[in-house]
Amino acid sequence: MRRVVITGLGAVTPIGNTVPETWESVKAGKCGIAPITYYDTTDRKVKVAGEVKNLNMEQFLDKKELRKMDKFCAFALIAAREAVQDAAISFEADSDRCGAIISSGIGGLETIADGQDVGRAKGFDRVSPYFIPGCIGNMAAGRVAIEHGLHGMCNSVVTACAGGTNAVGDGFRLIRDGYAEVMLCGGSEASITELGIGAFTSLSALSRTEDPMRASIPFDKERNGFVMGEGAGVLVLEELEHALARGAKIYGEVIGYGANCDAHHITAPLEDGSGAAKCMQLAMKDGNVDPSQIQYINAHGTSTPLNDKGETRAVKLAFGDNAKNVMMSSTKSMTGHLLGASGAVEAIITTLAVQNDFAPATINYQQPDEECDLDIVPNEGRNVKIEYAMSNSLGFGGHNASIIIKKYK
């Protein structure tokens, strides 16, 4: 099988508008949760979110083009552009073997809500001609492919909160199995809207805590729901010999991928963690890795009562006696939950954790939970050697995805 390496990274997140900014915030344990500014929350139950901050999109994209796309597409284009520039790669020579897989859990939610308002006010024949290409979830992948001239596989994974990890894993397999040389993989989401927050509030999924430092608190006994985040993450995956031939810098190597389904409930994970455990075992088998070799897991860790307890059980099932030795933190404590983009951003963070031998913290942790009793790297990150790391994503519908990243040698 061919080896697949990571040669470029791009990100727009609640803790940084570039990968270097995001990584510095991760190392510092910065919290990106804050009061919602996009609309008046006076009469709303949920007051905080992980908004992208101080990003002037007109510095990156033409003003006229911005009016034709939803914010999730803009986030994806900005992150993909950073990743391509970081990789210093041109696709002209073999564009038919270069592609894009960009996930979005919901797609253009703001465009959908605005279009409905226009239709009701002015008649539905007056809805913008850009409404459909603005809201459909595949358009981030399509626009990225158009901008960079990628003529290979172009796809959008829609597996809820597992989508970003599925995108990276699917791109990895395409390259490893000989169907592509380079893939831009990741996810993008922009669901901090009145409709998005209201719908998740009705589902009783979101934290209603008004203190930003006590809202997204994975594995803490006082956790009471996730915090919505937004942004995008894109990784350039490349076949090793292709990367070496052009003298590319290499961040790390993707070596294993697992994906399965709980087939249990539309929103709730299996409480015993068995589905997620099998997914992690699939990734380890795929990468020919023993549980004792993995030093760090970037957990799905949403700060919901069911997820954190179930994921702890899953790691214990998958890792056995080695579970007590693995560090497992949730960087959603800093970013909030970016839905379909979360796995992509967390793949970037995990890659940098391996490259830099640094285990990110689970910040704002105060109250231990006896049912979440693994080493969650509480409050302060650690300078510690990391050769192998895993990143987990678990989505509504029972979707599970795990990838394994190895230090490149």
Looking at residue 291, what is its pLDDT? 98
d(CA 408, CA 5): 8
CATH numbers and ranges of domains, the chain: 1-398 (3.40.47.10)
Taking residues 79-95, report their average pLDDT. Answer: 96
Taking residues 373-385, report their average pLDDT. Answer: 98
Q: pLDDT band for 185, please (50, 70, 90 cuts).
A: very high
Q: Is the pLDDT of residue 27 over 90?
A: yes
Which residues contact residue 372 at a Cβ distance below 8 angstroms, ignoring those fewer than 6 apart? 219, 221, 308, 309, 312
Q: Give the tens place of pLDDT for each residue, 257-268.
A: 999 999 999 999
What are the residues facing 184 on neighbouring strands? 100, 236
Q: Give the tens place of pLDDT for each residue, 117-156.
A: 999 999 999 999 999 999 999 999 999 999 999 999 999 9
Active site residues: 161, 300, 337
The vertex-280 CA angle with 79 and 371, nearest 5°, equals 100
Three-state DSSP class for 324? helix
d(CA 191, CA 57): 17
Q: Is the pLDDT of residue 1 over 90?
A: no
Averaged pLDDT of the chain: 97
Identify which of 132, 129, 135 has the alpha carbon closest to the alpha carbon of residue 109: 135
Inter-residue contact 384 to 358 (CB < 8 Å) = yes
Q: pLDDT band for 318, please (50, 70, 90 cuts).
A: very high
Torsion sign, CA atoms 298, 300, 301, 307 = negative
Looking at residue 384, what is its pLDDT? 98
Q: Give the tens place of pLDDT for each residue, 321-378.
A: 999 999 999 999 999 999 999 999 999 999 999 999 999 999 999 999 999 999 999 9
Q: Is the pLDDT of residue 52 over 90?
A: yes
Taking residues 97-107, report their average pLDDT. Answer: 98
